[in-house]
Structure 1
Amino acid sequence: MKLGIIGVGHLATSILKGLARSGWNPADICLSPRGHGPDLARRDGYALAKDNADLVRRCDLVLLAVRPADAATTVDGLGWREGQVLMNACAGVSRAAIGAAAPAHIVRIMPITASELGASPTLVYPRTEAALPFLDALGSAIELDSEDQFEAATVSAAIYGWAQQLIIAGADWSAAQGLNPQTARELAARTFVAAGRMQAEQDAPMHDILASLCTPGGITAAGLDHLESNTVPEAWRSACDLVLGRLRGK
């Protein structure tokens, strides 16, 4: 099955690195002739479409990764045919919003740039067998039961960036205390990886895992109390609400 990518920007470039990492043949991937498409085709051997209609004609599985505001106009009039699968990676763009313009089977997905490491927890709705090999190459597919659930889960793509800001803050603070900057960076990053693995891979309730770290009078509890008193958890939740509102057009 040939994969086509419409919208070869930052996210698509990360996805291509992940596909290459997992062994996908560049000759089986066709890129649109805008953005980074021509350069990547010339450098790495990807096929290059003459235009988006040519890409749709040549491919059975198509990834759409353009700006959300451009999604409907981009897919309109491209000659979609029965049996094609369109993977829509445009945040906040519902299946209905592009369904009339692209009468293919539309699957919403939300990968993140960790795709290039094979570490993206990629949201998908609805489950579609044809898309699974692609999603597995990027990391792990997280299947949602409804489009409303998908929209709420998409907030995690913003949280991914916020977590990086916290890693930077921790690394900068440690470096300011005299740690080698590279050591500080590695320590902060690996601490977040370790915390994520504990929550993802343990069976205990999430709050119990946290409570096991919070010895009364200890440093973890003291720091969490300080964050709570400065309304950090409340601000975090309200930021999630803000992003979800944007995704739902509010």
Structure 2
Amino acid sequence: MRAGFIGTGTITQAVVKGMLRFGVPFERILLSPRNAQTAAELAALDGRVQVCESNQQVLDHSDVVCLAVVPQIAAEVLGDLEFNARHHVISFMAGVSLDQLRGWVRTSGKIARAVPLPAVAEGKGSTAICPADDIARAIFAPLGQAVEVDSEDKFDALSAVTATMASFYAVLETEASWLAKQGIDYADARAFLSGYCVGLAHDTTRGVQPFSQMVEHSMTPGGINEQVHAELSRRGAYAYYDEALDGVLRRIRGNA
């Protein structure tokens, strides 16, 4: 596989580092010259990674092409490029449908969408893929979880839940600030909560039981976990997630 990346930002950096670290087989990785510093840093990691002089040169020497440009400039960037049927295109661009993408790349070759997250660099990321795609799976399965879906409606829903990163960290900040009010040094509070969250996340990977079952198993009758869960449920805290995600999904589908 000769994999080319159009766009050299945070996600490309994470994917390339993950491919190198976890042994995804490839002959060569070609990077666009945009964001020259990041491209140069990646090229320094492995002799098979090289920075091209132009986006078209990336295409000319690749058979798998990953599109990682921001959607706002995608039409302009891709409109200047010549794709052909040998190119297997994987788009990381949020909100750009398969039909829209095919119109931009003007090729009969295979096209798929994927939404990798920065944690793929550490082999701990989840990547949604639509439709099922052997090449995309070969790249992302070694980098964590690769979840393939058969419709863009489902893909959009998976994309929507990635909008909860900031709120996840906000919950941790609320807990850390509360601990600081109890006299605990913020750095110690942060270290404790980081390890605590790693443990909880690890538990989710040890089986396939529904999360609702894990909720029940983590509570003892009259215990402190039951107390907090009951309080948040009574106040409707979890229901706000449904409402917020509905709004994100409408925005992704252009209905906001």
Aligned residues: 250
Q: Which residue of 2 aligns with 1:241?
A: 246
Give 1:203 shift: 4.3
Matched, 1:185 2:190: yes
- The answer to whether the Cα contact below 8 Å between 2:2 and 2:26 also exists between their aligned partners in 1 is no
Distance 1:206 1:42 in 2: 41
CA distance in 2: counterparts of 1:237 and 1:154, whole angstroms: 14
Secondary structure of 2:146's aligned partner:
strand
Residue 33 of structure 1 deviates from its aligned partner by 0.8
| In structure 1, C-alpha distance between the alignment counterparts of 2:245 and 2:70, rounded to whole Å | 21
TM-score (norm 2): 0.87
1:17 to 1:178, Cα distance in 2 relative to 1, 3 A: farther
After superposition, the Cα gap between the structure-2 partners of 1:62 and 1:176, relative to the gap in structure 1 and judged at 3 Å, is: farther
CA distance in 2, matches of 1:193, 1:159: 17
Gaps of 5+ in 1: none
Match of 2:138 in 1: 133
SS of the residue aligned with 2:86? coil
Which residues of 2 match residues 227-238 of structure 1 at below 5 A?
227-238=232-243
Structure 1 residues 191 and 108: CA distance shift in structure 2, 3 A: same
| Preserved contact between residue 71 and residue 93 of structure 2 (Cα < 8 Å) | yes
Question: 1:27 Cα deviation (Å)?
Answer: 7.5
Give the aligned partner of residue 71 of structure 1: 74
| 1:142-157 alignment, distance < 5 Å | 142-157=147-162
Taking a change above 3 Å as real, the CA distance of residues 165 and 180 of structure 1, as seen in their structure-2 partners, is same
Find the counterpart in structure 2 of residue 223 from structure 1. 228
Identity of aligned residues (%): 28
Matched, 1:13 2:13: yes
The answer to whether the aligner puts 1:208 opposite 2:209 as a matched pair is no
* Change over 3 Å in CA distance of 1:75–1:165 after alignment to 2: same
The answer on whether the counterparts of 2:102 and 2:111 sit within 8 Å (CA) in structure 1 is yes
Matches within 5 A, 1:39-118: 39-40=40-41, 43-44=44-45, 46-102=49-105, 103=107, 104-118=109-123
Runs (5+) with no aligned partner, structure 2: none
